[in-house]
């Protein structure tokens, strides 16, 4: 179980690694577009503002597309094989899931409690009645939670069924197509459950707002706690947006209310708790500035000695992103799923710290990192309100130190797999895979019926002269493309055909083994067997251009490039003139190897191969080969 948790945590970190750089970009955009620091050149409409706003827009890409990012990233970390295909299967299934939700709410929105689904317009900085746009699809806002559920389902389907051998007449549907077929129908009940249950969860959050507003310090604590603990579900948007930009406390929202009265607050010597009494709900940037750096420190202190350097390289930019830009995802998702108890502790400490600051009289708009807090609080109000800000730093640092010791104790006590404490995944994975593959390879000859891919992969490796003889390996739609060091070590074509190869094409050190529609699975098994043997050859699991395959096959069947005088595309035909018709293969070979419909022999050594509407593309590739 612990190994599975470790693997899941590592998979979660695949997309999270992008957050640090994106956070720094956003922070720079916020910094350079602050009129308080840069004067009138940073005002909207100036060239300076436009440039930095454009840069910031690019930086927000990672954060605005978190759902898709995790949908793609999780299979890359969790798929046992063909990870690129697993990522493709996951993202198309995730989009299908959201299309199902959108269609269901369009037709039966009333039954699910969203009668005006079709009329609701998705706008920025709004709860949008719990809706959002994902890749242009209007759907329920399930944040990364929905993405993770879909990605886990697809990854499980991929690991279990990607290699499933279907009957030959269904061969075109195996592999990724079969996984998507299963995922497609799995998304229907999942979408129904989401449409039925998620709006109820969202409504429960909304109804709690009324209690929070009228409960003083208790309400502040609940608000701050929910605003942090609900981040993984995306429901925190329903908590803070009605306060920050909606009418939960004041008309128009607390953010514009604060900015509208900022000059008044700066000029007054009265305590902020008196002149800005309603502004106590927007203090949740403090945990980003004061708590996250100490959490990073706890991770570093508890990391293994041999991983401290690597851990610090990850944590330092992530901590700076949190402190400066107020973006905590690079830290949050490194331990959120591996040690959820720590996430609860962090949420409790955040709420407690902000409530203590509130009780001491702190008010303001402090939702971002230090850059945002300074520009909208410390810099304009320091002259008359510096005492409250000194208190803010004292409380923040004390709470940060407490958080550090609590995290350190919990991590060491319960051996949580936080950054720097995971096992050496690469070594463990290679050892386990090697042992597993050795057992499978030993039984390969007797497992042809139950696992044909391993049997064929093992046979082809031997026939190609062994793994050490292979320098490059890739595939087309139906054939393996191999570069070998010594062509003399390659076995006769008849032995390949005895192991279910359709044919073999030779071009010096370049060998093509025509496998059929099973080529992705055979290639993946060959790749793993080669890694087991220590071969460092270049392996690509992505298929080459299918037109290259047909073009190469036709060139071979026409007797090779030296036998071809010229070639043109004529409607649905490849029309070639050859020097010696005796070197041209039998018509049946064209149909079997080049997927041709018909071959016609005419005068002047002209050969017409009917290939279909792809004739132009095939000829283009043939000309490049010639």
Is the Cβ–Cβ distance between 298 and 400 less than 8 Å? no
Hey, how many other C-beta atoms are within 10 angstroms of the C-beta on 21?
A: 14
Give, in degrees to the nearest 5, the angle at Cα 322 between 352 and 213: 35
Is the Cβ–Cβ distance between 419 and 334 less than 8 Å? yes
For helices 308-320 and 19-32, the axis angle rounded to 10 degrees is 30
Q: What whole-number distance in Å separates Cα of residue 245 and Cα of residue 270?
A: 26
- Active site annotation includes 570: yes
Q: What whole-number distance in Å separates Cα of residue 527 and Cα of residue 524?
A: 5
Annotated catalytic residue: which of 195, 296, 399, 476?
476
CA separation (Å) from 518 to 26, 459, 515? Answer: 46, 15, 7
- What are the residues whose beta carbons fall under 8 Å from the beta carbon of 618, sequence distance 6 or more? 547, 550, 551, 554, 569, 574, 611
> What are the structure tokens assigned to 597, written together?
């419909």
Hey, how many other C-beta atoms are within 10 angstroms of the C-beta on 554?
A: 27
Residue 325, CB-side half-sphere exposure with 13 Å CA sphere: 26
> What are the structure tokens assigned to 34, written together?
């602050």
Q: What whole-number distance in Å separates Cα of residue 541 and Cα of residue 572?
A: 31
How would you classify residue 516: left for phi > 0, otherwise alpha for psi between -120 and 50, otherwise beta?
Answer: left
Nearest to 546 by CA among 477, 621, 617: 477
CA separation (Å) from 36 to 18, 32, 263, 289? Answer: 30, 10, 12, 21
For helices 66-78 and 143-161, the axis angle rounded to 10 degrees is 30
CA separation (Å) from 425 to 4, 62, 214, 215, 448? Answer: 11, 26, 50, 49, 31
Nearest to 345 by CA among 363, 359, 332: 332
Is the Cβ–Cβ distance between 479 and 519 less than 8 Å? yes
> What are the structure tokens assigned to 108, written together?
């039966």
> What are the structure tokens assigned to 188, written together?
């229907």
Q: What whole-number distance in Å separates Cα of residue 349 and Cα of residue 547?
A: 60
Nearest to 282 by CA among 154, 200, 372: 372
Sheet holding 538-543, edge to edge: 503-507, 510-514, 479-484, 470-475, 538-543
Q: What whole-number distance in Å separates Cα of residue 212 and Cα of residue 254?
A: 15
Q: What whole-number distance in Å separates Cα of residue 314 and Cα of residue 10?
A: 13
- Active site annotation includes 399: no
Hey, how many other C-beta atoms are within 10 angstroms of the C-beta on 439?
A: 10
Is the Cβ–Cβ distance between 310 and 424 less than 8 Å? no
Read off the DSSP letter of residue 260: H
The maximal CA–CA distance of the chain, rounded, in angstroms, is 103
- What are the residues whose beta carbons fall under 8 Å from the beta carbon of 431, sequence distance 6 or more? none
Q: What amino acid positions are annotated as catalytic residues?
A: 476, 570
């Amino acid at each position: 179980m612990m190994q599975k948790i470790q693997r899941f945590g590592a998979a979660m970190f695949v997309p999270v690694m992008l957050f640090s750089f994106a956070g720094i970009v956003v922070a720079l955009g916020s910094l350079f577009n602050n009129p308080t620091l840069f004067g009138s050149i940073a005002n909207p409409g100036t060239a300076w503002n436009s440039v930095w706003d454009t840069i910031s827009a690019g930086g927000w890409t990672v954060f605005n597309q978190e759902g898709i990012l995790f949908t793609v990233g999780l299979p890359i970390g969790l798929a046992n094989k063909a990870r690129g295909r697993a990522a493709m299967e996951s993202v198309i299934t995730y989009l299908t899931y959201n299309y199902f939700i959108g269609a269901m709410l369009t037709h039966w929105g009333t039954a699910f409690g969203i009668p005006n689904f079709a009329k609701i317009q998705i706008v920025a900085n709004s709860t949008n009645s719990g809706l959002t746009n994902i890749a242009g699809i209007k759907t329920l806002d399930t944040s990364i939670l929905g993405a993770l559920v879909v990605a886990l389902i697809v990854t499980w389907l991929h690991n279990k069924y990607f290699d499933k051998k279907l009957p030959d007449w269904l061969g075109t549907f195996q592999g990724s197509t079969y996984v998507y077929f299963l995922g497609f129908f799995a998304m229907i009940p999942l979408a129904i459950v989401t449409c039925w249950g998620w709006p109820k969860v969202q409504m429960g959050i909304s109804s709690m707002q009324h209690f929070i507003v009228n409960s003083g310090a208790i309400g502040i604590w609940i608000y701050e706690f929910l605003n942090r603990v609900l981040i993984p579900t995306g429901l925190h948007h329903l908590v803070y947006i009605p306060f920050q930009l909606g009418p939960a406390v004041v008309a128009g929202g607390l953010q514009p209310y604060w900015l509208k009265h900022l000059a008044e607050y700066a000029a007054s010597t009265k305590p902020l708790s008196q002149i800005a009494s309603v502004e106590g709900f927007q203090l949740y940037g403090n945990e980003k500035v004061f708590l996250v750096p100490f959490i990073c420190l706890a991770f570093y202190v508890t990391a293994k000695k041999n991983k401290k350097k690597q851990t610090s390289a990850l944590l330092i930019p992530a901590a700076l992103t949190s402190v400066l830009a107020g973006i905590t995802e690079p830290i949050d998702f490194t331990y959120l799923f591996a040690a959820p108890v720590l996430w609860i502790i962090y949420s409790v400490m955040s709420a407690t710290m902000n409530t203590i600051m509130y009780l001491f009289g702190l008010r303001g708009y402090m939702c971002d990192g230090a850059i945002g807090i300074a520009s909208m609080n410390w810099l304009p109000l320091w002259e008359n309100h510096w005492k409250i800000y000194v208190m803010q730093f004292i409380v923040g640092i004390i709470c940060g130190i407490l958080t550090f010791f609590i995290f350190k104790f919990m991590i060491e006590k319960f051996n949580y797999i936080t950054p720097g404490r995971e096992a050496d995944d690469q070594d463990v994975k290679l050892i386990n895979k090697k042992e597993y593959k050795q057992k499978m390879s030993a039984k390969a000859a007797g497992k042809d019926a139950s696992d044909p891919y391993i049997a064929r992969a093992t046979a082809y490796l031997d026939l190609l002269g062994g793994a050490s003889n292979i320098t490059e390996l890739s595939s087309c739609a139906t054939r393996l493309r191999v570069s070998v060091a010594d062509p003399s070590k390659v076995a006769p074509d008849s032995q390949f055909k005895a192991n279910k190869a359709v044919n073999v094409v030779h071009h010096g050190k370049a060998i093509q083994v025509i496998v059929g529609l099973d080529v992705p699975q055979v290639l993946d098994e060959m790749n793993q067997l080669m890694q087991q043997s220590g071969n460092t050859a270049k392996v690509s699991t992505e298929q080459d251009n299918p037109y290259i395959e047909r073009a190469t096959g036709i060139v071979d069947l026409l007797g090779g490039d030296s036998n071809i005088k010229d070639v043109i595309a004529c409607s649905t035909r490849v029309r070639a003139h050859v020097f010696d018709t005796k070197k041209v293969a039998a018509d049946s070979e064209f149909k079997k190897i080049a997927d041709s419909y018909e071959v016609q022999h005419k005068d002047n050594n002209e050969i017409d191969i009917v290939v279909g509407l792809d004739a132009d593309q095939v000829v283009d590739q043939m000309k490049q080969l010639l």
